[in-house]
Amino acid sequence: MTITAAADGSALGNPGPAGWAWYVNDSCWGAGGWKYATNNQGELKAVLELFRATAHLDEDLLVLCDSQYVINSVTKWMPGWKKKGWRKADGKPVLNVDLLREIDEALVGRRYRFEWVKGHANHPLNEAADSRARAVSEAYQAGRPIPSGPGWVDAPGTARAERSPRTPAFSEPEAPAAQPGLFDFDEPAEPITLSLTLTPGEHARLAERARSRGITPEALLRDMI
Protein backbone atom coordinates (compact mmCIF):
# COMPACT_ATOMS: atom_id res chain seq x y z
CA MET A 1 0.00 0.00 0.00
CA THR A 2 1.17 3.53 -0.73
CA ILE A 3 1.03 6.41 1.73
CA THR A 4 0.32 9.69 -0.05
CA ALA A 5 1.41 12.87 1.71
CA ALA A 6 2.07 16.48 0.76
CA ALA A 7 5.08 18.46 1.99
CA ASP A 8 5.39 22.23 1.79
CA GLY A 9 7.23 25.23 3.19
CA SER A 10 6.60 28.91 3.75
CA ALA A 11 8.77 31.94 4.50
CA LEU A 12 7.38 35.44 5.04
CA GLY A 13 9.77 37.82 3.29
CA ASN A 14 11.93 34.88 2.16
CA PRO A 15 14.04 34.82 4.21
CA GLY A 16 11.96 35.59 7.28
CA PRO A 17 9.68 33.80 9.72
CA ALA A 18 9.38 30.34 8.19
CA GLY A 19 7.37 27.16 8.52
CA TRP A 20 7.24 23.62 7.15
CA ALA A 21 4.49 21.02 7.15
CA TRP A 22 3.66 17.54 5.92
CA TYR A 23 0.07 16.40 5.63
CA VAL A 24 -1.72 13.06 5.17
CA ASN A 25 -5.14 13.97 6.58
CA ASP A 26 -6.64 16.18 9.26
CA SER A 27 -5.69 13.66 11.96
CA CYS A 28 -2.19 12.96 10.68
CA TRP A 29 0.12 15.91 10.02
CA GLY A 30 3.13 17.67 11.47
CA ALA A 31 4.57 21.17 11.28
CA GLY A 32 7.33 23.35 12.66
CA GLY A 33 9.63 26.15 11.64
CA TRP A 34 12.13 28.84 12.54
CA LYS A 35 12.16 32.53 13.34
CA TYR A 36 14.31 33.15 10.27
CA ALA A 37 14.82 30.89 7.25
CA THR A 38 14.08 30.60 3.53
CA ASN A 39 11.20 29.01 1.69
CA ASN A 40 13.54 26.36 0.25
CA GLN A 41 14.74 25.44 3.73
CA GLY A 42 11.10 25.02 4.77
CA GLU A 43 10.36 22.85 1.73
CA LEU A 44 13.37 20.60 2.42
CA LYS A 45 12.61 20.33 6.13
CA ALA A 46 9.02 19.27 5.38
CA VAL A 47 10.27 16.39 3.24
CA LEU A 48 12.86 15.40 5.84
CA GLU A 49 10.33 15.33 8.68
CA LEU A 50 7.86 13.36 6.56
CA PHE A 51 10.46 10.63 5.99
CA ARG A 52 11.37 10.65 9.67
CA ALA A 53 7.73 10.41 10.74
CA THR A 54 7.17 7.39 8.49
CA ALA A 55 10.50 5.65 9.11
CA HIS A 56 8.83 2.87 11.15
CA LEU A 57 6.43 1.91 8.34
CA ASP A 58 7.02 -0.69 5.66
CA GLU A 59 4.98 1.17 3.05
CA ASP A 60 5.68 2.93 -0.22
CA LEU A 61 5.62 6.70 0.13
CA LEU A 62 4.34 9.13 -2.51
CA VAL A 63 5.48 12.68 -1.74
CA LEU A 64 3.47 15.48 -3.34
CA CYS A 65 5.60 18.60 -3.63
CA ASP A 66 5.17 21.91 -5.45
CA SER A 67 8.90 22.73 -5.32
CA GLN A 68 10.93 21.74 -8.38
CA TYR A 69 14.01 22.75 -6.40
CA VAL A 70 13.32 20.09 -3.77
CA ILE A 71 12.36 17.37 -6.25
CA ASN A 72 15.39 18.01 -8.46
CA SER A 73 17.71 18.24 -5.46
CA VAL A 74 16.61 14.85 -4.12
CA THR A 75 16.06 12.92 -7.35
CA LYS A 76 18.58 14.45 -9.80
CA TRP A 77 21.30 16.62 -8.32
CA MET A 78 22.16 14.99 -4.99
CA PRO A 79 24.19 12.02 -6.34
CA GLY A 80 26.44 14.39 -8.30
CA TRP A 81 26.80 16.76 -5.37
CA LYS A 82 27.87 13.89 -3.11
CA LYS A 83 30.52 12.74 -5.60
CA LYS A 84 31.91 16.30 -5.67
CA GLY A 85 32.00 16.56 -1.88
CA TRP A 86 28.68 18.40 -1.74
CA ARG A 87 29.80 21.03 -4.19
CA LYS A 88 28.08 22.24 -7.33
CA ALA A 89 29.42 22.03 -10.86
CA ASP A 90 31.04 25.46 -10.46
CA GLY A 91 32.86 24.31 -7.31
CA LYS A 92 30.75 26.39 -4.94
CA PRO A 93 29.28 24.74 -1.81
CA VAL A 94 25.76 23.37 -2.15
CA LEU A 95 23.16 25.48 -0.38
CA ASN A 96 21.19 23.97 2.49
CA VAL A 97 23.70 21.13 2.65
CA ASP A 98 22.88 20.14 6.26
CA LEU A 99 19.25 19.48 5.38
CA LEU A 100 20.21 17.67 2.19
CA ARG A 101 22.64 15.39 4.05
CA GLU A 102 19.91 14.49 6.53
CA ILE A 103 17.45 13.77 3.72
CA ASP A 104 20.04 11.59 2.02
CA GLU A 105 20.38 9.54 5.21
CA ALA A 106 16.60 9.34 5.69
CA LEU A 107 16.11 7.89 2.20
CA VAL A 108 18.26 4.81 2.81
CA GLY A 109 16.16 1.68 2.44
CA ARG A 110 12.96 3.59 1.70
CA ARG A 111 10.56 3.01 -1.20
CA TYR A 112 9.39 6.38 -2.40
CA ARG A 113 8.68 8.62 -5.34
CA PHE A 114 8.02 12.32 -5.75
CA GLU A 115 5.24 13.90 -7.75
CA TRP A 116 5.13 17.58 -8.64
CA VAL A 117 1.86 19.38 -8.05
CA LYS A 118 1.12 22.97 -8.96
CA GLY A 119 1.08 25.17 -5.89
CA HIS A 120 -1.91 27.35 -5.02
CA ALA A 121 -4.07 25.44 -7.52
CA ASN A 122 -6.62 24.00 -5.09
CA HIS A 123 -4.95 20.61 -4.77
CA PRO A 124 -6.43 19.50 -1.41
CA LEU A 125 -3.32 17.88 0.10
CA ASN A 126 -0.98 20.60 -1.15
CA GLU A 127 -3.29 23.34 0.09
CA ALA A 128 -3.53 21.65 3.49
CA ALA A 129 0.25 21.42 3.84
CA ASP A 130 0.70 24.97 2.57
CA SER A 131 -1.82 26.44 5.01
CA ARG A 132 -0.19 24.67 7.95
CA ALA A 133 3.33 25.73 6.97
CA ARG A 134 2.13 29.29 6.56
CA ALA A 135 0.34 29.17 9.92
CA VAL A 136 3.68 28.37 11.56
CA SER A 137 5.48 31.22 9.81
CA GLU A 138 2.68 33.61 10.82
CA ALA A 139 2.83 32.32 14.40
CA TYR A 140 6.56 33.06 14.55
CA GLN A 141 5.94 36.50 13.08
CA ALA A 142 3.25 37.29 15.64
CA GLY A 143 4.90 35.57 18.60
CA ARG A 144 2.05 33.07 19.00
CA PRO A 145 2.32 29.37 19.98
CA ILE A 146 3.44 27.17 17.11
CA PRO A 147 0.75 24.85 15.69
CA SER A 148 2.86 21.69 15.41
CA GLY A 149 0.03 19.23 14.72
CA PRO A 150 -0.61 15.73 16.10
CA GLY A 151 2.39 14.18 14.33
CA TRP A 152 2.11 10.67 12.92
CA VAL A 153 -0.98 8.72 13.91
CA ASP A 154 -2.58 5.67 12.35
CA ALA A 155 -3.39 7.09 8.95
CA PRO A 156 -5.48 5.11 6.45
CA GLY A 157 -3.61 1.96 5.41
CA THR A 158 -1.28 1.97 8.41
CA ALA A 159 -3.56 0.74 11.19
CA ARG A 160 -1.35 -2.31 11.78
CA ALA A 161 1.75 -0.21 12.23
CA GLU A 162 2.98 0.73 15.65
CA ARG A 163 2.70 4.41 16.31
CA SER A 164 5.97 6.27 16.30
CA PRO A 165 6.91 8.89 18.88
CA ARG A 166 6.35 12.48 17.92
CA THR A 167 9.21 13.87 15.88
CA PRO A 168 11.42 15.80 18.29
CA ALA A 169 11.18 19.53 18.10
CA PHE A 170 13.50 21.04 15.54
CA SER A 171 16.44 23.01 16.82
CA GLU A 172 16.40 26.66 15.96
CA PRO A 173 19.39 27.66 13.81
CA GLU A 174 22.02 30.10 14.92
CA ALA A 175 21.52 33.73 14.04
CA PRO A 176 21.88 33.66 10.27
CA ALA A 177 24.93 34.96 8.51
CA ALA A 178 24.47 35.18 4.77
CA GLN A 179 21.15 33.49 4.19
CA PRO A 180 20.34 32.35 0.65
CA GLY A 181 17.76 34.40 -1.12
CA LEU A 182 14.65 33.64 -3.10
CA PHE A 183 16.34 32.01 -6.07
CA ASP A 184 18.74 29.72 -4.22
CA PHE A 185 18.71 27.09 -6.93
CA ASP A 186 21.68 25.01 -7.96
CA GLU A 187 21.60 26.27 -11.52
CA PRO A 188 21.88 28.83 -12.98
CA ALA A 189 24.27 30.80 -10.80
CA GLU A 190 23.48 34.17 -12.39
CA PRO A 191 20.48 36.28 -11.25
CA ILE A 192 17.18 35.45 -12.91
CA THR A 193 14.66 37.99 -14.17
CA LEU A 194 11.06 36.89 -14.38
CA SER A 195 8.23 38.66 -16.19
CA LEU A 196 4.56 37.81 -15.75
CA THR A 197 1.57 38.82 -17.84
CA LEU A 198 -1.86 38.59 -16.20
CA THR A 199 -5.32 39.09 -17.60
CA PRO A 200 -7.48 41.65 -15.74
CA GLY A 201 -9.37 38.79 -14.11
CA GLU A 202 -6.19 37.04 -12.99
CA HIS A 203 -4.81 40.30 -11.60
CA ALA A 204 -8.01 40.91 -9.67
CA ARG A 205 -7.89 37.43 -8.14
CA LEU A 206 -4.23 37.89 -7.23
CA ALA A 207 -4.92 41.26 -5.59
CA GLU A 208 -7.88 39.85 -3.65
CA ARG A 209 -5.86 36.90 -2.38
CA ALA A 210 -3.03 39.23 -1.34
CA ARG A 211 -5.48 41.50 0.52
CA SER A 212 -6.93 38.51 2.36
CA ARG A 213 -3.42 37.67 3.63
CA GLY A 214 -2.51 41.26 4.44
CA ILE A 215 0.40 41.41 1.99
CA THR A 216 1.12 43.04 -1.35
CA PRO A 217 0.54 41.20 -4.63
CA GLU A 218 4.31 41.29 -5.22
CA ALA A 219 4.95 39.60 -1.86
CA LEU A 220 2.34 36.96 -2.65
CA LEU A 221 3.99 36.21 -5.98
CA ARG A 222 7.40 35.85 -4.31
CA ASP A 223 5.91 33.47 -1.73
CA MET A 224 4.26 31.41 -4.48
CA ILE A 225 7.55 31.13 -6.36
Is position 130 annotated as part of the catalytic site?
yes
Name the active-site residue from 43, 49, 138, 223: 43
Q: Residue 170: how many CB atoms within 10 A of its CB?
A: 15
Is position 105 annotated as part of the catalytic site?
no
Is position 127 annotated as part of the catalytic site?
no
Is position 98 annotated as part of the catalytic site?
no
Name the active-site residue from 80, 105, 120, 154: 120
> What residue type is 100 in one-letter code?
L
Q: Please give the chain's pLDDT, 225 residues, in tens.
A: 899 999 999 999 999 999 999 999 999 999 999 999 999 999 999 999 999 999 999 999 999 999 999 999 999 999 999 999 999 999 999 999 999 999 999 999 999 999 999 999 999 999 999 999 999 999 999 999 999 999 998 644 443 333 333 333 333 444 343 344 444 444 444 445 566 676 665 666 666 665 655 567 676 666 565
Is position 58 annotated as part of the catalytic site?
no
Name the active-site residue from 8, 49, 138, 186: 8
Decide: 34 and 170 in contact? Cβ < 8 Å.
yes
Question: What are the chain's domains?
Answer: 2-170 (3.30.420.10), 193-225 (no CATH)
Q: How, if at all, do strands 16-25 and 2-11 pair? A: antiparallel
**d(C-alpha 192, C-alpha 98), whole Å:** 25
